[in-house]
Amino acid sequence: MANVFSRLGGWITERSPGLMPMYRKHMSEYYAPKNFNLWYYFGSLAFLVLVSQIVTGIFLTMNYNPSAAGAFDSVQYIMRDVEWGWLIRYMHSTGASLFFIVVFLHMFRGIIYGSYKKPRELVWLLGMLIFLVLMAEAFMGYVLPWGNMSFWGAKVIISLFGTIPVIGGHLVDWIMGDFLPGDATLNRFFALHVIALPLVLLLLVVLHLAALHEVGSNNPDGVEIKKGPKGNRWSPLAPADGIPFHPYYTVKDLFGVGFFLLIAAFIIFFAPTLGGWFLEHDNSIRANNLVTPSEIKPVWYFTSFYGIVRVMPAFLGTAVWGVLTMFAAIAVLFLFPWIDRGQVKSIRYRGTGFKVGLGVFVLAFIGLGSLGAGVTDKVFPEWFGDVDLATWDNNFGRLMILLYFGFFVFLWAYTHFGWEKTKPVPDRVTMHD
Amino acid sequence: MGNEVVDHGRRRFLTAATAVVGGVGVVAAAVPFIKSWEPSARAKAAGAPVTQSLKKIELGQQLIVSWRSLPIFIVNRTKQQLAALPGQDPRLVDPKSDGSSSAQQPKYAQNEARSIKPEWLVMIGICTHLGCVPTYVGEMKPEPFDPNWQGGYYCPCHHSRYDMAGRVYKDVPAPKNMVIPPYHYVDDMTVQIGVNPKEAS
């Protein structure tokens, strides 16, 4: 029997010369630094969620009806009548939020350990593209259930393009395929959400990994193991501080998967809406083009960017500034590798200014998020009594925008003019034997 | 074949010319796909005028009707609401609707009350910021968003504010006054939305 399998394996290998080398290059002989910590779970977890979203998504399409007349009812049908339909939908809706949680943490890992720095700029850029496509994918998926929040979310986000001078109005009609979000809009979003964007996403993930494996993984010490001594247990040429991805990190990641699935299962079974944070209450109401929900807010992962749009005033007769600032907030992330001129990668050996600046940046991001989610509307009156809410929101939001972009200005000056006082970086990862 | 010398200039020209022709072909082939996203003939045709009687709209009340799938606000404005309009001018972006908002209404509605008859407001209820439907807050009493509120519209999405004539306040995200659609009076208490007075006669 074993003979049959090995002969079959040989038969395939002879006819597909790339398979075994590929397995060796990316799994059994991909030497990753041996000092990965908790932060290094989130890349593999993001991949896990991607697979889960694709599988649950395929099964949802089997009962979903992409039309303005039928979409809302078909989602209710999935929730009530399709066997286990509720589970598949809650896996998909919870998966969307968890996707952003692990991606945000994955990006934050890249920032604290300087994983975007030379020679990994391309890995960062491809990752940012994944983030961008993921946002488009999430937005379009959010529109599909055709609840009232879906409808008005679609209207507001598409109208962002309407603020562009001259072509804006026509551009909005072109995106919607109608003068309001309707059948045409829903159908094209469905096509993009289930076919076009997932294909792009998968391609980008492959490129992201290929680019990473070309230069090798960074690590919590920000030390290049390829520049360190050679020779480990498996190969005299491999970096001494590297261990093969398989089985060492596949097993480590499996532990992370177990832990992650435990949390995911808890949310899916006990709190699938998470108090309105993962699934908004207004989206259980059918889309109504004449009534805007009393409080429009996007799902939590967009609230930081939404907060920016909310507080930027119109001037010179156009409202394009909020939109420009929002896109700039994303674009500036792409430029991380070139704004940060510092040579030291890991936060372990970086100056106090970087740590404080990064802390301020995170607070600004969360501050904008709480503004966009309407949290400040509730807590400001509680904390400060009877205040002029609009002015407070505007001033708070504009301060947060200033801090958000201020971090990048500071980071550039701090590293460009050599103000950063770094600690000495060790020659090898701190965990070597 | 017999010619040993490669004419590099000719080769470059042919490569470039092929690439350009191919590029034009790709652009041309993309046109149908891009144009397929335009509103279809059916979507464009669904825009017939709407007729609405004003008889049952009480003082200070707002009725919302649908025209081209857009919400149309019809408000029976009170004397107090109308009287408060001129006082708002200093706080507005374009009180006379002759600046940035000059294209937001037909000529016959380019006045202080932005209407044909002062008491009847007929307006497309779409915020000029990002297209939400602003909430009608007609009562003249202090509101959390404005202690000096004289009645008007408040947008739940990004907190833009308008007065009782749909004129936008300063320092909000929305840049322009809300749009007044073409409309005319069929008789004293009936309006038709979507047709100008001249076209109707």
Question: Within this chain, do residues B94 and B25 fall inside the same structural domain, yes or no?
Answer: no
Do B131 and A319 make contact, defined as CB atoms within 8 angstroms? no
Question: Within this chain, do residues B108 and B186 fall inside the same structural domain, yes or no?
Answer: yes
pLDDT of residue A349: 96
Query: Which value, to the nearest 10 degrees, does the dihedral of the CA atoms of residues A404, A406, A411, A417 take?
Result: 170
Mutation target among B148, B157, B168 for the A interface, most CBs of A within 10 A: B157
Write the pLDDT tens digit of every residue in A192-239. 999 999 999 999 999 999 999 999 999 999 999 999 999 999 999 999
Residue A1 pLDDT class (50, 70, 90 cuts): low
> Quick check: B60 and B197 in contact, CB under 8 A?
no
Fill in the DSSP letter of residue B49: -
Average pLDDT of the residues in A3-30: 88
- B129 catalytic? Reply is no
Residue of B141, B168, B142, B175 whose CA lies nearest to B154: B168
Q: What is the mean pLDDT of chain A?
A: 93
Do A289 and B100 make contact, defined as CB atoms within 8 angstroms? no
* Residue B2 Cα, gap to closest chain A Cα (Å): 39
Question: Within this chain, do residues B64 and B79 fall inside the same structural domain, yes or no?
Answer: yes
- The answer to ipTM > 0.90 is no
SS3 A119: coil
> Quick check: A422 and A344 in contact, CB under 8 A?
yes
Does residue A295 carry a pLDDT above 80? no
Alpha carbon distance B28, A293 (integer Å): 43
Backbone angles phi, psi at B85, to 5 degrees: -60, -55
Q: What is the DSSP string of A335-357?
A: THHHH---S--SGGGS-HHHHHH
More confident residue, A389 or B168: B168
Angle, vertex CA B138, rays to CA B135 and CA B139, nearest 5: 130
Write the pLDDT tens digit of every residue in B51-104. 899 988 888 899 998 888 788 999 999 998 899 888 888 889 888 888 888 888
Residue A395 pLDDT class (50, 70, 90 cuts): very high
> Quick check: A92 and A57 in contact, CB under 8 A?
yes
Question: Within this chain, do residues B74 and B162 fall inside the same structural domain, yes or no?
Answer: yes
* Residue B67 Cα, gap to closest chain A Cα (Å): 10
pTM score, whole prediction: 0.84
Question: Within this chain, do residues B124 and B170 fall inside the same structural domain, yes or no?
Answer: yes
Residue A42 pLDDT class (50, 70, 90 cuts): very high
Question: Within this chain, do residues B151 and B65 fall inside the same structural domain, yes or no?
Answer: yes
Question: Within this chain, do residues B142 and B66 fall inside the same structural domain, yes or no?
Answer: yes
Residue B171 pLDDT class (50, 70, 90 cuts): confident
Residue A317 pLDDT class (50, 70, 90 cuts): low
Q: What's the CATH number where B164 sits?
A: 2.102.10.10
Question: Within this chain, do residues B33 and B63 fall inside the same structural domain, yes or no?
Answer: no
Do A177 and B39 make contact, defined as CB atoms within 8 angstroms? yes
pLDDT of residue A352: 95
Question: Within this chain, do residues B53 and B28 fall inside the same structural domain, yes or no?
Answer: no
Question: Within this chain, do residues B108 and B29 fall inside the same structural domain, yes or no?
Answer: no
Question: Within this chain, do residues B5 and B68 fall inside the same structural domain, yes or no?
Answer: no
Do A293 and B129 make contact, defined as CB atoms within 8 angstroms? no
Question: Within this chain, do residues B28 and B61 fall inside the same structural domain, yes or no?
Answer: no
Q: Is the Cα torsion angle A96, A98, A103, A104 positive or negative in sign? A: positive
Write the pLDDT tens digit of every residue in B108-154. 988 888 999 999 999 999 888 877 889 999 888 888 888 888 889 99
Query: What total number of domains does chain B contain?
Result: 2
Residues of A at the B interface, defined by Cβ within 8 angstroms: 152, 155-156, 158-160, 162-163, 173-180, 182, 184, 188, 289-296, 309-315, 317-319, 322, 381, 388-390, 393-394
Q: Domain span at residue B104? A: 45-200
Do A179 and B70 make contact, defined as CB atoms within 8 angstroms? yes
- CB contacts of A295 in chain B (<8 Å) are 156
* Residue B100 Cα, gap to closest chain A Cα (Å): 6
Alpha carbon distance B200, B194 (integer Å): 10
Alpha carbon distance A400, A390 (integer Å): 15
pLDDT of residue A382: 86
